[in-house]
């Protein structure tokens, strides 16, 4: 029998990544998306879940007592490090599509996270540009995908 356990839990808008230490026979977790380091542990899944809730409640109480604003998880911005060549290709692809690099990266992440098809991605760009554009995907080195816009047949 296989038992599946998700390694992400949520409480009060905060998410945590859960790990298991076989050496210590202990579950432990860290809060995702905030700069403050909050860790918690438990011997059982229920103990872990209770420790997580207690850690979040303590964090919010601590912030209230000290006048600190609790960090909001996932503010919608982050820095990434990519190769200069991938950066260049991304800027050029975004320019060809008539969108910003930020919009291009957001669409690419949205596509991957939500497993969107090229057709769905095309519809997103069509709405942003307000023009009938579709995407033609070409794989390069089995790592990077390049998008080339071309006008739909109906516009000819």
Q: 95-115, pLDDT tens digit by residue?
A: 988 899 999 998 888 888 887
The pair of structure tokens assigned to 147 is 């998008």
Contact (CB, 8 A) for 146 and 137: yes
> Which residue is it, tokens 């080339």?
148
* Cβ atoms within 10 Å, residue 143: 7
Q: Distance between CA atoms of 51 and 46, rounded to whole angstroms?
A: 9
Q: What is the predicted pLDDT for the residue at 117?
A: 56
Q: What is the predicted pLDDT for the residue at 43?
A: 94
In this model, does residue 20 exceed pLDDT 50? yes
pTM of this structure: 0.55
Q: What is the predicted pLDDT for the residue at 75?
A: 74
């Amino acid at each position: 029998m296989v038992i599946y356990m998700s390694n992400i839990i949520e409480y009060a808008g905060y998410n945590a990544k859960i790990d298991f230490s076989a050496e210590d026979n202990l579950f432990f977790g860290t809060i995702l998306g905030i700069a403050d380091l909050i860790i918690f542990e438990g011997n059982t899944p229920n103990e872990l879940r209770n420790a997580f809730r207690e850690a979040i409640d303590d964090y919010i109480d601590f912030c209230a007592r000290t006048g600190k604003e609790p960090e909001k998880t996932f503010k919608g911005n982050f820095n990434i490090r990519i190769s200069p060549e991938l950066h260049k290709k991304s800027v050029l692809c975004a320019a060809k599509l008539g969108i910003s690099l930020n919009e291009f990266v957001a669409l690419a992440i949205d596509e991957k996270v939500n497993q969107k098809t090229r057709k769905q991605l095309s519809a997103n760009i069509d709405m942003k540009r307000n023009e009938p554009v579709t995407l033609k995907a070409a794989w390069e080195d089995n790592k990077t995908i390049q998008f080339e816009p071309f006008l739909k047949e109906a516009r000819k």
